[in-house]
């Protein structure tokens, strides 16, 4: 089955309809790093990353990886080797820190956009993650925690996400 992001505020999976938020500047077919847009297309999803110091491992068929303090996702356009990849945080490399004080990344699933043949500058760190108030994102898709946990029970590693 496929997760459908139908518009700026609606995510659908099977018979479930969830309120969501997306990039502050809408959708795009031509994603560029830092454009605040959510990429259009159909993508695979990655593993579930979660804060096991705040949450117990959720019921899901996805592989669950605890987030460590040194985990980052590279968005440094000057680093071709690590761009749009999970890595151990190093000084001098621009990144998205996964171990955050706020709870946005207590649960996150990378949307596998620009990950197979990575094109530097084409967009990175596109996640499905948590929100508390449906604020616009920098390109990610967000859900409330209760909805995210429901979705986790329904999806598996073969699930795709279609954004249009």
Structure confidence at residue 130 (pLDDT): 98
DSSP-assigned states of every residue in the chain: -EEEEEETTEEEETTEEEE-B-BTT-EESS--TTS--EEPEEEEB--EEE-TTTSPPPS-SS-EEEPPTTEEEE--TT-TTTTTSEEE--TT--EEESS-SSSTTSEEEEB-SS-SS--TTS----EEEE-SS---BSS-EEE-HHHHHHHHHH--TT-EEEE-
Structure confidence at residue 143 (pLDDT): 98
Structure confidence at residue 140 (pLDDT): 98
Structure confidence at residue 44 (pLDDT): 98
**Gap between the Cα atoms of 49 and 61, Å rounded:** 13
Structure confidence at residue 32 (pLDDT): 98
Structure confidence at residue 57 (pLDDT): 98
CATH number of the domain located at residue range(s) 2-163 in this protein? 2.40.440
Structure confidence at residue 125 (pLDDT): 98
Structure confidence at residue 52 (pLDDT): 98
| Cβ contacts of 134 within 8 Å, gap of 6 or more | 9, 19, 20, 21, 142, 144
**Gap between the Cα atoms of 31 and 19, Å rounded:** 23
CA 160 to chain centroid: 13
Could you list the pLDDT tens digit for every one of the 164 residues in the chain? 999 999 999 999 999 999 999 999 999 999 999 999 999 999 999 999 999 999 999 999 999 999 999 999 999 999 999 999 999 999 999 999 999 999 999 999 999 999 999 999 999 999 999 999 999 999 999 999 999 999 999 999 999 999 99
Structure confidence at residue 142 (pLDDT): 98
């Amino acid at each position: 089955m496929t997760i459908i992001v139908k518009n700026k505020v609606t995510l659908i999976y099977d018979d479930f309809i969830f309120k969501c938020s997306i990039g502050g500047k809408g959708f795009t077919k031509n994603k560029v790093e830092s454009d605040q847009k959510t990429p259009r297309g159909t993508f695979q999803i990655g593993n579930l990353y979660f804060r096991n110091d705040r949450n117990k491992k959720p019921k899901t068929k996805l592989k669950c990886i605890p987030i460590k303090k040194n985990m980052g996702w590279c968005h440094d356009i000057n680093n071709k080797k690590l761009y749009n990849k999970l890595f151990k945080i190093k000084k001098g490399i621009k990144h998205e820190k996964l171990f955050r004080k706020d709870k946005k990344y207590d649960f996150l699933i990378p949307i596998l956009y620009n990950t197979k043949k990575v094109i530097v500058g084409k967009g990175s760190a596109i996640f499905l993650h948590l929100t508390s108030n449906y604020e616009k994102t920098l390109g990610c898709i967000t859900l409330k925690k209760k909805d995210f946990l429901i979705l986790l029970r329904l999806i598996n590693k073969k699930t795709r996400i279609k954004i249009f």
